[in-house]
Homo-oligomer: A and B are copies of this chain.
Amino acid sequence: MCTGESSGAGVGNGPRERFIREAIALARRARDKGNHPFGALLVRGDEILLRAENTVVSDNDVTRHAELNLVSAASRRFAAETLAECAVYASTEPCAMCTGAIYWAGIGSIVYGCSAQTLGELTGGSLVVPCETILANAKRPVAVRGPVLEEEAKTVHAGFWSRS
């Protein structure tokens, strides 16, 4: 799921926190639909250009992580110059697959809520690779910031992974 609504307005303690809260809300919406609890936004400056949810269950496709859905839509819609000015805001630190996708799209930065390590503790830790490990030797720098509001970002996972 990836929608292209554009909205610049919002409330919160600052744009970074506001965008992370919106990514968490998308994660909750994904969970409510029977998908895994992850959401992501594409942001340029103070404007949300795209929103995406995890659709792994509804699409029956393990590649349909929120960030992969986001990057796929962003890549088809925006020019490289625009993507370079964008950040991905993700409710949880992007996995290896999604970090690679963000890199290939030429997106400038990543901001995440819950860290990969914390997610690993919640899920039992399947493939815990911090995105900075993958980007460490990349030719093009990608700025990474997180965790941001990790306690809030964790709440959307409560009781989910123990059920599966």
Contact surface of A with B, Cβ cutoff 8 Å: 59-63, 68, 71-72, 75-76, 95-101, 103-106, 124-129, 134-135, 137-140
Return the 4 tightest CB-CB contacts between A and B, nearest first: A97-B100, A96-B100, A62-B104, A62-B75
Q: Are A101 and B62 in contact (CB under 8 A)?
A: yes
Identical copies in the complex: 2
**Within 8 Å CB of A125, what residues of B?**
139
CA–CA, A76 and B60, complex, Å: 5
Q: What are 26 sample pairs from A and B whose C-beta atoms fall under 8 A apart?
A: A60-B75, A61-B72, A61-B76, A62-B71, A62-B75, A62-B101, A62-B106, A63-B68, A63-B72, A63-B104, A96-B96, A96-B97, A97-B103, A97-B104, A99-B100, A100-B100, A103-B126, A124-B139, A125-B139, A126-B140, A127-B134, A127-B135, A127-B138, A128-B137, A129-B134, A129-B137
A142 to chain B, nearest CB (A): 10
The CA-CA distance from A129 to B105 in the complex, in Å, is: 17
CB proximity of A40 to chain B, nearest CB, Å: 14
Residues on B with beta carbons closer than 8 Å to the beta carbon of A104: 62-63, 95, 97, 127
List residues of chain B with CB within 8 A of the CB of A124: 139
Roughly how many angstroms separate A76 CA and B58 CA in the complex, as a whole number? 11
CB-based contact A134/B134 at 8 Å? yes
- Smallest CB gap from A65: residue in B: B104
Kindly list chain B residues whose C-beta atoms are within 8 Å of the C-beta of A135.
127
CA distance A24 to B97 in the complex (A): 23
